[in-house]
């Protein structure tokens, strides 16, 4: 659907969904951490939807931009991680798992929200393309980026959210051993992206979920 757009049009369509998907994901971590007793993110001014507080030059701008320009069809990124100090938690590993889960859950909720945006565009019909099409395109982009971030972050690769969730479920010794992989996490992810392992792992689940959300959007 996006192939019919020029590069500039694609950038305009994707920019808000990408920024909100990444920003809200991080804010969700900080908000839940605060509920569990950690005010670190709040004190540092990171519990805000102002994207300038969360932008990471590589993860928020350069990487998504390159993926969009090269037309890989697989766009993702990250923001500066919201600081979380598990020492404030009553059950550090278990509570950290809940804080980690908040990110993917926020992406799921945003995907629903963008599906409703697209649905509004569909209701305008063929007689109001100037209003309908921007809503539909943005909705499709919002569904796509949020599903990718949700699925990607559920992978059990440190420091992704899935690894925090798994760590909270493992016995202490094995969680400690598992968390040692975090120093290699970025390299592992980049290798998986380069060799299209991420595309293979996430492609089918993303396709199935997209069909459900597109149906919700009336597409």
**For residue 127, pLDDT beyond 80:** no
Query: In this model, does residue 6 exceed pLDDT 80?
Result: no
Cα→Cα distances 4→7, 9, 33, Å: 10, 10, 42
* pLDDT value of position 101: 97
Write the CB contacts of 156 (distance below 8 Å, at least 6 apart in sequence): 162, 163, 165, 166
Q: Is the pLDDT of residue 107 over 90?
A: yes
Q: Tell me: pLDDT of 130 over 70.
A: yes
Residue 186: predicted pLDDT: 83
Q: What is the pTM of this model?
A: 0.90
SS3 call for 80? coil
66-83 mean pLDDT? 77
Measured N-to-C along each axis, helices 161-169 and 172-179 cross at an angle, to the nearest 10 degrees, of: 160
What pLDDT was estimated at residue 71? 65
pLDDT in tens, 195-211: 888 888 998 999 999 99
Mean pLDDT score, 16-43? 94
Sign of CA dihedral 162, 34, 87, 81: positive
Q: Please tell me which residue, 186 or 116, carries the higher pLDDT value.
A: 116
163-194 per-position pLDDT tens digit: 999 999 999 899 899 988 888 988 898 888 78
Q: Which of 26, 129, 182, 210 is catalytic?
A: 26
Residue 26 annotated among the catalytic residues of the structure: yes
Domain boundaries, the chain: 11-78+88-217
Report the chain's terminal Cα–Cα distance, integer Å: 11
Distance CA 176, CA 143 (A): 35
- CA 107 to CA 9: how far, in whole Å? 24
């Amino acid at each position: 659907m996006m192939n019919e757009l020029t590069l500039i049009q694609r950038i305009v369509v994707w920019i808000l969904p990408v920024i909100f998907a990444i920003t809200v994901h991080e804010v969700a971590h900080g908000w839940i951490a605060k509920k569990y007793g950690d005010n670190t993110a709040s004190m540092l001014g990171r519990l805000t939807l102002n994207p300038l507080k969360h932008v990471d030059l590589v993860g928020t701008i350069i990487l998504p931009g390159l993926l969009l320009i090269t037309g890989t069809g697989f766009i993702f990124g990250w923001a500066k991680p919201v600081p979380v100090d598990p020492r404030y938690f009553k059950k550090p590993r278990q509570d950290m798992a809940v804080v980690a889960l908040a990110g993917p859950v926020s992406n799921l909720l945003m995907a629903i929200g963008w599906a409703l945006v697209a649905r509004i565009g569909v209701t305008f019909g063929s007689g109001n393309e100037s209003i309908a099409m921007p809503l539909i395109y943005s909705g499709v982009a919002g569904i796509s980026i949020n599903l990718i971030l949700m699925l990607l972050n559920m992978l059990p690769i440190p420091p992704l959210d899935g690894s925090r969730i798994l760590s909270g479920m493992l016995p202490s010794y094995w969680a400690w051993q598992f968390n040692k992989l975090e120093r290699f996490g970025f390299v592992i992810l980049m290798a998986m992206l380069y060799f299209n392992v991420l595309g293979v792992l996430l492609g089918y689940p993303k396709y199935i979920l997209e069909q459900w959300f597109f149906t919700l959007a009336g597409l």
